[in-house]
Amino acid sequence: MDTPPSDRLDAIERARYKLRQAEIALSCLRQVPAQIAVEMRRARPISDPDPRFDTFFFSCLGLAKSAYYIMDDRRYRDAIRSWRMNVLDLKGRTQFNRMMRLRDNDVHQGRSDGKTLATRIPIERNSADDAWIFQQQPSYAALGVRRPVSEYMNPDGITVSSYEGLQGSMNLFVEIAGETSEAANACERFITQLSQMLDALSAANVPPLGPLQRLWLWFKAKLRIRD
């Protein structure tokens, strides 16, 4: 049964729940490069673009953005505006606005501004099926030499390194505030910004809804009336 919207605290908790859902989608997005690395080692065909990236990326964005819209009513707009102008710096606001628009591009135009690019990730020694790629490591301490480390700079300018070696893969990158960012890292930053926003709204002195206001919001939702 449909019920009128609840009070302020409940709205904030519902928004936080959306962010927890976004974190699950983010976790799935972070796993895709390792899955692709396994497929590449086994010479399986790789889709370009790989639908897993956009699926989890836009799922994460959509869930995170829902947290914003849950709080986007007249009671909170001054507090949201204050947070955006006084807590976020210029770069933070540019990053935040860009993430909000990326989801709109997907919903309204079916367009992704992300690029799937070649990358490298550390080898993980946890698969019995791929034991052939691992070699017995010599005792560098006994030899009196420093253990060599493999390094590679990915398209976002971040250098990945590993003593176990690196393996080829693919990853999704987006342009955010003039910088190339790994999509998963951009999502994580967006979730963090929204979580900080909810903290600010929770601390703000915003009065709870009265019974008539709650009933009016319920009718607005049913009739899709916008302010």
Tens-level pLDDT at each residue, the chain (227 residues): 444 444 545 888 999 999 999 999 999 999 999 999 999 888 877 777 789 999 999 999 999 999 999 988 777 888 899 999 999 999 999 999 999 999 888 777 767 788 999 999 998 766 555 554 545 555 655 555 666 788 999 999 999 998 888 999 999 999 998 899 999 999 999 999 999 999 999 888 766 555 555 565 566 666 665 55
Give the count of beta carbons closer than 10 Å to the beta carbon of residue 121: 19
Find out whether the peptide bond into 49 is cis, omega within 30 degrees of 0: yes
For residue 82, the number of C-alpha atoms closer than 13 Å in the C-beta half-sphere is: 12
Residues with Cβ within 8 Å of 211's Cβ and at least 6 positions away in sequence, in order, are none
**Quick one: which H or E segment has residue 152?**
strand 150-153
- Dist. CA 204–CA 200, nearest whole Å: 6
Q: Which amino acid is at 168?
A: G
The residue extents of the domains of the chain are: 8-114+180-223
Residue 4: the pLDDT is: 40
Instruction: Say how far residue 26 (Cα) sits from the centre of its chain.
Output: 5
Measured torsion, CA atoms of residues 82, 188, 116, 49, in degrees rounded to the nearest 10: -90
Provide the H-helix boundaries in 112-209: 140-143, 183-203
pTM to 2 decimal places: 0.78
Phi, psi (5° rounding) for residue 34?
Answer: -65, -40
Q: Are 121 and 169 in contact (CB under 8 A)?
A: yes
Give the count of beta carbons closer than 10 Å to the beta carbon of residue 113: 12
- Residue of 152, 65, 45 whose CA lies nearest to 106: 65
